[in-house]
DNA sequence: AGCAATAGTTACTAAATAGATACTATATTA
DNA sequence: TAATATAGTATCTATTTAGTAACTATTGCT
C-alpha cells in the first residue's frame, strides 16, 4: 500500500503514480460505466494480456481505487468496481475525454 | 506527425497517445507557468536525462503541443512554450492536481 | 591557448514493462 | 470420459523506455 510518506510533494505526480499509465486510465474508463467482470475488461481493453491486466487490477485494488469481489462459482466469476476514490477519477477521465475530442476536431478539415 | 487516420476511436486514448506519460504531463505542468528554457525544464523535472527530455520535447513539438524557439546566441538558448492546444491541457492538468490533493488528504489522519 | 556555458547528438547499456505460452482448479455439460 | 468456461499463475522472452558517458559547436573570458 502506498503510505503517505512516499507520496511525492506535487499532487500531479501523486496522480501519475496511481494512474499514470495507459491501462489504468482505460480500466477506469470502463469501470465508470459500472461494475465489470475480468473477462469483460479484457475484451474491452484491446490487446492487454491477462498478466498485465491482473497486475494493474491488483495495484489499483491496493491503492484503494477498485474493489474485487469473487463469487464462489464454477467457472469462477470476479467483479471489479470503482470505490468512491476511484469514482472521483471521473473528473480526470472527463477532462481527458474532452481534450481528446477537441484535439481530433482540430485535426479534421 | 500524427495524422487523423491513426488516432484511436476513443478520445481518451487519443489523449493518452499524446501525453499519456509521466514526463509529458510534467513538462506541461512546468510550461503552464510560462515559457521555459531547456535547462530550466531539466532542473525542474528531477532526474530526467537530457536524451529523454529532448525526445519528449521533440514529440510534443511534432504533435503541436509546444513550440521551440532557438536564439542565435553562444552559448545557445532554446525556449519552449505551450501552443494554444498545449495550453488547453490545463484542464486535464488541473483535474489531476485536484485529484492528487484530495487523495493525499484522504491518506492523512 | 584553453576553459566555461548551453543545448544538444550518438552509441552503448540497463531497467522496466509487456507479451506469449503453458499450466491450474473445478462444477457443469455433452 | 472428456471438453468447456473463467480467472487466474508461472516462466521465459521480447520490446520499450530510460540512463550513462562521451562528444560537438561556438563565442567570450582569463
> Would you tell me which CATH number, out of the four given (3.30.365.10, 1.10.10.10, 1.20.1580.10, 1.20.1290.10), belongs to the domain A4-107?
1.10.10.10
Contacts of A108 (CB under 8 A, 6+ apart): B4
CB contact under 8 A, B15 and A107: no
Interface of A with B in 72-101 (CB under 8 A): 85, 88-89, 91-101
pLDDT the model gives residue A26? 96
Return the DSSP state at A65. Answer: S
Ranges of chain A whose pLDDT falls below 70 = 1-5, 109
Among B66, B7, B1, B94, CA closest to A100? B7
Q: Kindly compute the dihedral angle of the four CA atoms of residues B81, B85, B86, B89, in this order, to the nearest 10 degrees.
A: 150
- Average pLDDT score, chain B: 92
Residue nearest C28 (alpha carbon to C1') = A74
What are the pLDDT digits (tens) for B63-90?
999 999 999 999 999 999 999 999 999 9
Helix (H, G, I), strand (E, B) or coil at A74: coil
Helix (H, G, I), strand (E, B) or coil at A10: coil
Ranges of chain B whose pLDDT falls below 70 = 1-5, 109
pLDDT the model gives residue A87? 98
**Burial bucket for residue B93 (CB in 10 Å: 0-12, 13-18, 19+):** buried
Interface of B with A in 34-63 (CB under 8 A): none
Q: Which fold has domain B9-107?
A: Arc Repressor Mutant, subunit A (1.10.10)
Contacts of A103 in chain B (CB under 8 A): 11, 14-15, 18, 85
CB contact under 8 A, A91 and B97: no
Give start and end residues of each alpha helix (H) in chain A: 11-19, 22-31, 38-44, 50-62, 84-87, 90-107
Among A30, A104, A26, A41, CA closest to B18? A104
CB contact under 8 A, B91 and A99: yes
DSSP string of chain B, one letter each residue = ---GGGS-SSHHHHHHHHH-SHHHHHHHHHHTT--EEHHHHHHHSTT--HHHHHHHHHHHHHTTSEEEEEE--SS-EEEEEE-HHHHTTHHHHHHHHHHHHHHHHHH--
Task: Give the nucleotide nearest to B21 (CA→C1').
Answer: D17
Amino acid at each position: 500500500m502506498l503510505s503517505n510518506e512516499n507520496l511525492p510533494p506535487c499532487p500531479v505526480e501523486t496522480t501519475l503514480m496511481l494512474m499514470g499509465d495507459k491501462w489504468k486510465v482505460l480500466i477506469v474508463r470502463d469501470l465508470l460505466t459500472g461494475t465489470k467482470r475480468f473477462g469483460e475488461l479484457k475484451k474491452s481493453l484491446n490487446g492487454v494480456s491477462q498478466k498485465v491486466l491482473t497486475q494493474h487490477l491488483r495495484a489499483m485494488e491496493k491503492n484503494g481505487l477498485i474493489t474485487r469481489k469473487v463469487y464462489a462459482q464454477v467457472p469462477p466469476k470476479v467483479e471489479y468496481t470503482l470505490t468512491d476514490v476511484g469514482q472521483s477519477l471521473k473528473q480526470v477521465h472527463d477532462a481527458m475525454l474532452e481534450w481528446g475530442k477537441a484535439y481530433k476536431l482540430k485535426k479534421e478539415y
